[in-house]
């Protein structure tokens, strides 16, 4: 899952980002609501976590501006303002859920996952299929020709991105941003190493290759017999 955390409190942001990373999710963080609004409009996030009390553009104004651009993107608003009136204001402004600070990580993670599931259901895209390869977002399971694949979190995220862009060339930079985040500083050939492990699981002996290297460009996932 790809998340955007808009939070100006450093300790709160670090706590949340660490927990999300340990749970296998990719999260980008900004401490400025104007930057957050621009990033939310990129169409790459599953859920936005928004602190209500931001300097400049506050959470209510943020939601008003976001909903004019994107009525669908799930937003979880968090705030120390926990009264009924404040919760109602946040929800009426367009937030999909409202959570009072301080919160337990298990609860915010459960709320984030519930928003993501709801959004997946509304788009009616619970799974992806390319040839005999299928990926189920709800159960986070992958099969090829009926054979279950045991993937690590990064491998699953890489495969999901490739499948969503099946037939297209995706660059290493695109994969880094989608799976590791904008601020990740790659060490060595991290993409190639993860792709090698992913291929070893997706393409067993005798099975046609699905993930192809495009020299000088990146990678492409396409069924056997399909050409660019």
For residue 130, count other CB atoms closer than 10 A to its CB. 19
Strands (E), 172-216: 211-214
14 sits in which H/E element: helix 10-22
Residue 133, C-beta contacts closer than 8 angstroms, at least 6 positions apart: 142, 143, 144, 163, 202, 210
Decide: 74 and 48 in contact? Cβ < 8 Å. Answer: yes
Q: Which of 201, 30, 126, 45 has its CA nearest to residue 135? A: 126
Q: How many CA atoms lie within 13 A of 77 on its CB side?
A: 29
Q: What is the DSSP letter of 31?
A: S
Decide: 217 and 126 in contact? Cβ < 8 Å. Answer: no
Decide: 70 and 63 in contact? Cβ < 8 Å. Answer: no
Q: What is the DSSP letter of 176?
A: I
Domains of the chain: 2-123 (3.40.50.2300), 127-221 (1.10.10.10)
Decide: 28 and 118 in contact? Cβ < 8 Å. Answer: no
pLDDT of residue 3: 92
Token output for 120: 């997946």
Decide: 64 and 57 in contact? Cβ < 8 Å. Answer: no
**Total residue count of the chain as it appears in this document:** 228
Sign of the CA dihedral running 147, 152, 158, 160:
positive
List the chain residues with pLDDT less than 70. Answer: 120-126, 181-188, 224-228
pLDDT in tens, 134-144: 998 777 899 99
Residue 130, C-beta contacts closer than 8 angstroms, at least 6 positions apart: 163, 166, 210, 221, 222, 223
Using CA atoms, how far apart are residues 20 and 93, in angstroms rounded to an integer? Answer: 26
Using CA atoms, how far apart are residues 182 and 69, in angstroms rounded to an integer? Answer: 23
Q: Which of 65, 64, 7, 1 has its CA nearest to residue 31? A: 7
Task: Give strand pairing partners of 106.
Answer: none
């Amino acid at each position: 899952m790809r998340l955007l955390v808009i939070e100006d409190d450093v300790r709160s942001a670090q706590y949340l980002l660490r927990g999300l990373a340990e749970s296998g999710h990719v999260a980008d963080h900004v401490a400025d609501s104007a930057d957050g609004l621009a990033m939310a409009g990129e169409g790459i996030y599953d859920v936005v976590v928004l602190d209500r009390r931001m300097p400049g553009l506050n959470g209510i104004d943020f939601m008003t501006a976001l909903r004019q651009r994107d009525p669908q993107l799930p937003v979880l608003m968090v705030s120390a303002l926990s009264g009924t009136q404040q919760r109602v204001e946040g929800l009426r402004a367009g937030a999909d859920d409202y959570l009072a600070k301080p919160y337990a990580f298990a609860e915010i993670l459960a709320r984030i996952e519930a928003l993501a599931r709801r959004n997946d259901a509304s788009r009616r895209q619970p799974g992806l299929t390319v040839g005999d390869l299928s990926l189920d977002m709800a159960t986070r399971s992958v099969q090829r020709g009926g054979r279950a694949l045991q993937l690590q979190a990064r491998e699953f995220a890489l495969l999901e991105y490739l499948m969503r862009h099946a037939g297209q060339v995706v660059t290493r930079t695109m994969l880094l941003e989608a799976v590791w985040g904008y601020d990740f500083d790659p060490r060595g050939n991290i993409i190639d190493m993860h792709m090698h492990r992913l291929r070893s699981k997706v393409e067993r002996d005798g099975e046609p290759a699905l993930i192809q290297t495009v020299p000088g460009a990146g990678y492409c996932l396409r069924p056997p017999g399909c050409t660019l």
